[in-house]
Chains A and B, each alone.
Chain A
Amino acid sequence: MFFTYLRRELRRRRKAALVVASGLALGIALVIVVNSVSSGMNRAQDKVLESLYGLGTDMTVTKAATPPGAGDTSRRPRFEFDAKDSDDDSEQSSDLVMVEGFETLAFSTVAQVGKQDGVADAVGGLSVRVMKVNGQFKQGEIEPGQKPGQGGPGGGTDGGGAVRGGGAAFDVDSYTVYGTDVAHQGLGPLTSSKITSGRTFKTTETSAKVAVVDSAYAKEKSLTVGKTLTISGAKYTVVGVATADSGDAAANVYLPLAQAQTLAGAKDKVTTVYVQATDSQRIDGVKQAIQRNISGTTVTTSADLADTVSGSLSTASDLAAGVGKWLSYVVLAAAFLVAGLLTSAAVSRRVREFGTLKALGWRSGRVTRQVAGEALVNGLVGGVLGIGIGLAGAWVITAFSPTLTAQLGGSGGGAGGGRVLGAGGGEGGPARQAASRALDIALTAPVSLTTIGLAVALAVAGGLVAGGFGGWRASRLRPADALRRVE
C-alpha cells in the first residue's frame, strides 16, 4: 500500500513534484559542477607543480637568499672577447655556464636533509644556465679628409681622417641545463617528463658525457638520439629525448650531476634538494625540522609554491573555491527550503486526506512516513536529474577545455622562491629570484565517485529535509481538526 499510494500521489502531483525535484536538481548539479571544476583546478595546479618539481616531490630545499654586497659583480654574467686584427673577420664565440641564481648548497646538504625525521628520500640537483654569445666585431674604416669629430657611430678619429662604420653583431643563445643525480632518478624535474625517444640515464652514468634533451629544444636544435651536443666546448652524446607531461619542461638539457657541476665550476654543489616526505600530513613538520636543523636553507613546499601561482588559473581557482562554492551552497539551501515549503504546502492541501486516514486508524508515524517517502522520492528524482545535469555540465567543460594560464614565480618573494628554471632560452639575465614562467593548462572537470556520492547524499538530505517539513506538519494534524477544516 505504501508504494502504491506513493506512486499514485507522485503521478497525480507531477508538476509540484517536478518543481521540487528541479529545484533540488539545480542545487545538486551546481555542487557537482563546482566540485568537478575545483577538482580540475587542483589537477591543473598539480600539473603545474609537477612540471616544476617532478612527481613525488613534497618540498625543495635551496640556499637562503643573501643580498648582494656593494660592488659585487660576480652575480652578473661577463663576456670577454679579444681584440682582433683589422683583417680578421672570423666569428668570436663565448659560452658562459652559470649556476642558476648563483646560490648553491654543498652536496653534503643532500645527506643532511635525508637524515631529517620524516624525510623518505632526498635528491640533489644542479640548475645551470648556459649563455652562448656568438658573433663578430667589425672594424671601422678611415675616410681621409673628414674633420675630426665627424666619425660615424662606433668609429673614432685620428689625425689623418675620420673612422666610419664598425661595431659588433652578436647572437645570444640561452638555455638551461639540469644536472640530475642519475643514481636517484625517482625525484626531481626529469620525473615530470616522459622519455619519448631513446632512453634515460643509466645509474652507472654518473660521470658519462651523455645528455637527455627536452623534445621542444631537440626540435629547435635538430637534435636526435645519437647526435652530439656541445656545451662550452664539451661534447655530449644525446641518449634520449624527453617530453614534458604538461606545459614547458623544467630544463632544455639534462646531464649527469657531475657533468653539470664540472661545466658550471660548481664541484660538489647543488642548487636544489628535492625532498619526499614519509607522510603527506607531516610536510609542515618536516619543513620546520629542515629549516631548524640546516641553517641557511629555504624550504619550499608544494603549498608554498601553489601560493605563487597567479594568472587565470589562480583567478578561476579562487572563483571556484569562493564564489562557486558559496553559490552552490546558497542554491542548495534555497532548494532545500523550497522543497520543504512546497512539501509542507502540499500537506496543507491534503489535510482532509490525512485526517481521513487518521480517522481510519492510521498512526501519525505511518502518515508521516508516507509524506516523507514521497518527499524522499522527489529528492532522489532531483538527485538523478541533478547528477545528469551536473555530469553534462562537467562534460561540456571538459569538452571545451578552456585554457587557463598559470603564471609561476616572477616575484621571487613570498614562498621563498621555488627555484624554477625558465626553459626555452629566455634572454633575460639570470636573477636570484625564481624565473617567471607561464604555463597554459587545459581545464577539465573530472567527476569523482566521491562527488557522485555527495550528490546522492544531498538528494537524500534534500528529500529528508522536505519530508521532515511535511511530515512534521502531517504528524501534528488532529483528525477532528483536519476534518473540521473542510466542513
Chain B
Amino acid sequence: MYQLSGVTKRYRRGKDTVQALDGVDLTIEDGGRLVIQGPTGGGKSTLLQMLGGLDRPTEGSVVLDGTDLATLPEARLTRVRAEEIGFVFQSFNLIPTLTAQENVETALVPLGLKAAERRERAADALASVGLGERHGHLPGELSGGQQQRVAIARALVKRPAVLLADEPTGNLDESMRDEIMELLEGLWQEHTLTFVMVTHDSALARRAPRLAVIRKGRVTITERAAGAA
C-alpha cells in the first residue's frame, strides 16, 4: 500500500524554481488501480517517479508497504525498484541491440537469477503477452504494439507488487491502444497488482475506478462506483 503525505517536489530550472508537486496526500491500496490525468507539465510524471522511487520528494514522504522511499538509502531504493516495481514507458524504452527475450531478461539481472532461470521466466513472460514466437526479434523488427508488449513482459517478469505505466498507449494507434489496455487490465487482475497509470487519454481515464487529476502540482481524487466504467 502506498501512503503519500505532503509530497512536494521543486526543481531548479536555470534561475527559476519549478514546483512540480505541491503537498500531495494520496493513498493507494494494495491491488488498487489509479489513473493519473492532467495537463502537460502538471506534475503527472513527477508523481509517478515518486511512486516508483526514481526520484525523491523535496518534502514529504512516500511510504510503500511501510518503507519510506523518500529517505531510503540509494542501494535499498534500487533494490525496491528491482523487486517490487515494474515500469512501462510511453516510448517503450527497450534496448535496441537486445532481442525481445534479452530485453525481458534485463529486468531479472538485478535479482541475480541464473541464466537458465532468467531465460525460462522471460520466455514465459513473453508468451503471456502473446509474443512467444517473436522472442528472437530485435525491437526494430517489431511493431509499436509488439514493442509495448515486450515492455509489459519486462515489467511483469520480476513478479512485482506494483505496476507503474507512464502513457503506455501514447505512441500507439487506437486499436493497438485498446489491445494494450485490455492486456494491462487483464494482467492487473490476474496478478493482483497495484496499478498506477498516467494518461492524457480521457477514454482510458474513464475506465479506471479511481482517477487522480493533477493540476499545478495539486491532486484531486475522483472515486467511481464499481462497474461505472
User: Hey, which chain B residues are within 8 Å of A361, CB to CB?
Assistant: 78-79, 81-83, 107, 110-111, 158
**CB within 8 Å of A: which of B70-84?**
74-75, 78-79, 81-83
**CB within 8 Å of A: which of B21-63?**
45, 49, 52, 54-55
How close is B141's CB to chain A, nearest CB, in angstroms? 14
Q: Can you give 23 contacting A-B residue pairs, CB < 8 Å?
A: A1-B102, A1-B109, A1-B118, A5-B95, A5-B98, A12-B96, A355-B93, A356-B95, A359-B52, A359-B81, A360-B106, A360-B154, A361-B82, A361-B83, A361-B107, A361-B111, A362-B110, A363-B78, A364-B74, A478-B54, A479-B54, A483-B49, A484-B49
A484 touches B45 (CB 8 A): yes
Asked if A480 meets B107 with Cβ closer than 8 Å, knowing A12-B97, A356-B93, the reply is no
B87 touches A360 (CB 8 A): yes
User: Hey, which chain A residues are within 8 Å of B79, CB to CB?
Assistant: 361
Whose C-beta in chain A lies nearest to the C-beta of B107?
Answer: A360
User: Hey, which chain B residues are within 8 Å of A352, CB to CB?
Assistant: 91, 93
Helix, strand, loop or mixed for chain B's interface? helix
Whose C-beta in chain B lies nearest to the C-beta of A479?
Answer: B54
Specify which of B87, B105, B158 lies most central, judged by the most chain A CB atoms within 10 Å of its CB.
B87
What residues make up the interface of B, taking CB atoms closer than 8 Å to A? Answer: 45, 49, 52, 54-55, 74-75, 78-79, 81-83, 87, 89, 91, 93, 95-98, 102, 105-107, 109-111, 115, 118, 154, 158
Interface size on A, residues (CB 8 A): 27
| Number of A-B pairs, beta carbon distance below 8 Å | 79
Question: 18 more A-B contacts (CB under 8 A) besides A12-B96, A486-B91?
Answer: A1-B106, A1-B118, A5-B98, A353-B93, A355-B93, A356-B87, A358-B54, A359-B87, A360-B87, A360-B106, A360-B110, A360-B154, A361-B83, A362-B82, A363-B75, A363-B110, A483-B49, A484-B49
User: Hey, which chain B residues are within 8 Å of A484, CB to CB?
Assistant: 45, 49
A360 touches B81 (CB 8 A): yes
B97 touches A9 (CB 8 A): yes
B55 touches A480 (CB 8 A): yes
9 closest A-B pairs by beta carbon, nearest first, are A361-B82, A8-B97, A480-B55, A361-B110, A356-B93, A480-B54, A361-B81, A12-B97, A479-B54
The answer, among A9, A356, A358, A486, for a CB contact under 8 Å with B78, is A358
Whose C-beta in chain A lies nearest to the C-beta of B9?
Answer: A480
- Whether A366 sits at the interface, judged by CB under 8 Å, is yes
Whose C-beta in chain A lies nearest to the C-beta of B74?
Answer: A364
